[in-house]
Amino acid sequence: MIKTAILALKAGQLIHLPTETVYGLGARADSAEAVIKVFEAKGRPRFNPLIVHVGSLELAQKIGHFDARALTLAKAYWPGPLTLVVPIKDVAGVCDLARAGLDTVAIRMPEHSLALEVLRGFGGGVVAPSANKSGRPSPTSQADAYDETGTMVEVSLDGGPCRVGVESTVVSLVGEGHYLRSGALSRAEIEALIGPLSHNNEAAHLSPGRLARHYAPKAKLMTDVVVPPTDSVLLAFGATDFGGTVFQLSETKNLGEAARNLFSMLRAADRLNPALIAVAPIPEEGIGEAINDRIRRAAGFIG
């Protein structure tokens, strides 16, 4: 299966690449012909650049310019759920389309043995956005990835359920540096190593993927619900006495468990075609920040 996946990448075809965060839709980064298939399969706007996945820090440094801060973060947190945006060095290694024409590139080394075997066997950079259709919840299992884009891939690798469940933290090290997307690695864990980063709404334009409605189910969704309406489906966090249908993100209020359950439960709730998906309040701490970010975008709140 791994060999077939590597051959598919070489041939410019798409694969499902399991990672520790979410399932990716992978293609070789150096080929516009291959990368265009990713945009088409997802229905993704062309102005939204992709993350290049690598199997080694050497390859990462061939692709992009790593300053001292980038190197510090890569050495501390790779392989792991962290994406670094740096100036592009190898313009042929990552085609223009993959970068949406920018002179910067997003790079990450996933912490998943199957992904690393594929990446190291292939040898070059592999673009891999989440394997969902654009705007939908990210897949955190092979079955969910298959539901979204199964007909578009040559090989769909099954790497088990994702350990993290929400997408990687994205940090830009271009200029002063920006915290662009929350994820498993908190801002505090990043800033502890490289000092303060700005995190403001003006920085959102630096990450074209931070579109308003994202990760969205078909049903209407409401956040921070304490008393759910009777006809809603509840995504609970901790014990509840709600009488309707309940999906429990974490009975013991464990944020890591809630992150792992988030997207699959959003999907499961949506399949019931409810009048409303109500989500219980979730503390804004650690990975809770990323969970709330994804839920608010699913509800269409963030501009």
Shortest distance, position 195 Cβ to Mg ion, whole Å? 28
**CB-nearer residue toward ligand TXA: 119 or 170:** 170
Decide: is 168 part of the binding site for Mg ion (CB under 5 A): no
Interaction residues for Mg ion, span 111-150 (CB under 5 A):
130
Shortest distance, position 128 Cβ to ligand TXA, whole Å? 5
Q: In whole angstroms, what is the distance from residue 200 CA to residue 173 CA?
A: 15
Sign of torsion, CA 181 32 79 25?
positive
Shortest distance, position 281 Cβ to ligand TXA, whole Å? 25
Decide: is 207 part of the binding site for Mg ion (CB under 5 A): no
**CB-nearer residue toward Mg ion: 221 or 233:** 221
Shortest distance, position 122 Cβ to Mg ion, whole Å? 22
Cβ atoms of residues 118 and 157 within 8 Å: yes
Interface size with Mg ion, residues (CB under 5 A): 1
Binding site for ligand TXA (CB under 6 A): 19, 21-22, 24, 48-51, 83, 85, 99, 102, 104-106, 110, 128-130, 167-168, 170, 172, 180-181, 206-210
Cβ atoms of residues 276 and 218 within 8 Å: no
Cβ atoms of residues 30 and 94 within 8 Å: yes
**CB-nearer residue toward Mg ion: 130 or 168:** 130
- Binding partner of residue 168 among ligand TXA, Mg ion, none, CB cut-off 5 to 8 Å per kind: ligand TXA
CA distances from 131 to 4, 229, 248 (A): 19, 33, 24
Intra-chain end-to-end CA distance of the chain, in Å: 41
- Binding partner of residue 181 among Mg ion, ligand TXA, none, CB cut-off 5 to 8 Å per kind: ligand TXA
Please give the residue ranges that form the binding site for Mg ion (CB under 5 A). Answer: 130
